[in-house]
Amino acid sequence: MMRDQYIFSNGRLKRKHNTIYFENEKQQKKPLPVEKIRTLHLFGEIDINSKLLSFISQYGIFLQFYNYYGFYTGAFYPREKKESGFVIVKQSEHYLNENKRLYLAYCFIESSIHHILRNLRNYRPDTEEAILEIEILRGKLQNAATVQELMGIEGQVRQVYYQTFNYILKQDFVLDKREKRPPRDPVNAMISFGNTLLYTVVLSEIYKTALNPTISYLHEPSMKRYSLSLDLAEIFKPLIVDPVIFSLINRRQLTQKHFDYLEGEICYLNDEGKKKFITVWEEKLKSSVKHRTLKRHATYRYLIRLECYKLIKHFIGDEVYKPLKAWW
């Protein structure tokens, strides 16, 4: 079974014979079976060379790089193997056509709000007022004439949603407001870390299809980011990231001791905190539900891939895209 591998120590990755090894600063070596690795997440300072990159490309292994504080810094992806000029042309057409783009942007936000409400219903009656407020905002989506208007409504929904975290979270964790750059408290640090992990998973699933990750609909395409992964991540943030955070805090798996501060302001998960977060994160991605169309169990990770396939069918005219809305 393919899996993600996380490395937190400083050291070197190198090829030896027909596999790769991680050698830490104490020159202790650990073999990494290339046949079973999907993605290597590197949180330490890691030395690599072109020989290694060429070797792991043969196995389709992705490298994701993070700095000491857990912030995403970049990636290495093997050469694309499933390129399709036809799909890229059709994908571009749906961006250039204002109505087609607006429909897809609407779908991503509609699905996100569906999952936000799904979370809040689990914490009634404390969240009842927020549910009603978000339902009213949700009703305004269909009247939005531009992507900017949709994002404005989504921003209002998020603001209401994040205010409910103080009803949901136990211990002494408080979220005054969402702060991304940089996160200044433990809850914001967890949201940012979880979202970063989600972006990398979504991007790796996009790369396994014929989609181009730079052509997006809700978020404006940019030369500096794979914006389609941001679009699809909107669906899965409240479905995957937020429940992981609620579980970690309310089950006391993460406490204040798992966070450090840089210059007294920037809050981030320390190594122990990252490891605990990733353990629950991987469990969530591996958990599965009975899919109503496939008639078999599908993991949360595979649900992300299915969204990519549904988009392709939409672009080529096979089937109108309907975003995931959790039914379980």
Which residue type, as a one-letter code, is found at position 160?
V
pLDDT tens, position by position, for the chain (328 residues)?
Answer: 788 999 999 999 999 888 899 998 888 888 998 889 999 999 989 999 998 999 999 888 999 999 877 888 888 888 766 678 899 999 999 999 999 999 999 999 999 999 999 999 999 999 999 999 999 999 999 999 999 999 999 999 999 999 999 999 988 898 988 988 789 999 999 999 999 999 999 999 999 999 999 999 999 987 667 899 999 999 999 999 999 999 999 999 999 999 999 887 889 999 999 999 999 999 999 999 999 888 899 999 999 999 999 999 999 999 999 999 999 9
**What is the pLDDT at residue 80?**
61
- What is the reported pTM? 0.92
Distances (CA, A) of 238 to 15, 246, 325, 326: 39, 11, 11, 11
The pair of structure tokens assigned to 234 is 């909107």
pLDDT at 224: 63
Res 234: pLDDT:
98
In whole angstroms, what is the distance from residue 323 CA to residue 246 CA?
24
pLDDT of residue 170: 87
The answer to whether 243 and 119 are in contact (CB under 8 A) is yes
CA pair distance 81, 43, nearest whole angstrom = 27
Distance, in Å, from the CA atom of 317 to the CA atom of 294, rounded to the nearest integer, reads: 21
What are the CA-CA distances from residue 98 to residues 27, 67, 102, 229 (Å)?
Answer: 56, 38, 6, 20
Paired with 262 in beta bridges are 266
**Cα distance between residue 239 and residue 243, in whole Å:** 7
